[in-house]
Chain A
Amino acid sequence: GAVVSQHPSWVICKSGTSVKIECRSLDFQATTMFWYRQFPKQSLMLMATSNEGSKATYEQGVEKDKFLINHASLTLSTLTVTSAHPEDSSFYICSAPRQAFFGQGTRLTVV
């Protein structure tokens, strides 16, 4: 079946630095990918939809300049957390439009 691979699975970074998270569809092409965020013991909240060949669509309340999303190709979408702060520490997870397929998630810790 279709597989979505997310990298890295965890990352620790210093405040003020940027972190890039990659999401790849391994055996299918995806013109869109969805990015979710999950705080500890909470549910997943959709952050944005990346679109191949056009700008990402952000959900209300999500800072576009802070969470840069790039759909570089039909198999790769990236989320860059810029100027990270401790409150950005969270679990970030991507999914393909085929709703059954989620990446493994990335646990970001900002210190």
Chain B
Amino acid sequence: SQQGEEDPQALSIQEGENATMNCSYKTSINNLQWYRQNSGRGLVHLILIRSNEREKHSGRLRVTLDTSKKSSSLLITASRAADTASYFCATDAGRGAQKLVFGQGTRLTINP
């Protein structure tokens, strides 16, 4: 079953604005990851945040993790048309397993 719940399901913003996507999960995790998927394509790994980390940055991406609330957010600053894609969070199944449980995803559209 899917563990992650993401909101919003769809987000449409103007180029240059910031985009924030949220992810909630239900069980304890070792880490949480965010991926991007362009339409009909494979997944691109964006960032991994470990359960003992609270915030992580990578370029225009900022990810936060609140294990007390079992939630994470992905912020994309200064959005570009090329950021248009679906974004998924994924959590590991714990106990050293490396299979992932994905959230439902957020479809992000950046309007030029």
Are B98 and A97 in contact, with the CB atoms below 8 A? yes
A residues at B contact (CB < 8 Å): 6, 32, 34, 36, 41-46, 49, 91, 93, 95, 97-105, 107
Are B48 and A43 in contact, with the CB atoms below 8 A? no
B residues at A contact (CB < 8 Å): 2, 4, 33, 35, 40-43, 45, 48, 88, 90, 92, 98-105, 107
Q: Is the interface of A mostly helix, strand, loop or mixed?
A: strand
- 25 pairs, A vs B, C-beta closer than 8 Å: A34-B98, A36-B102, A43-B4, A43-B102, A43-B103, A43-B104, A44-B88, A44-B90, A46-B99, A46-B101, A49-B99, A93-B43, A95-B100, A98-B98, A99-B92, A100-B33, A100-B45, A102-B42, A102-B43, A102-B45, A105-B40, A105-B41, A105-B42, A105-B43, A107-B40
Contacts of A105 in B (CB 8 A): 40-43
In the complex, which residue of chain B has the Cβ closest to the Cβ of A100? B45
Asked, given contacts A43-B2, A43-B88, whether A99 binds B42 with beta carbons under 8 Å apart, the answer is no
In Å, the complex CA distance between A107 and B42 comes to: 10
- CB B32 to nearest CB in A, in angstroms, measures 11
Q: Is the interface of B mostly helix, strand, loop or mixed?
A: strand
Are A103 and B42 in contact, with the CB atoms below 8 A? yes
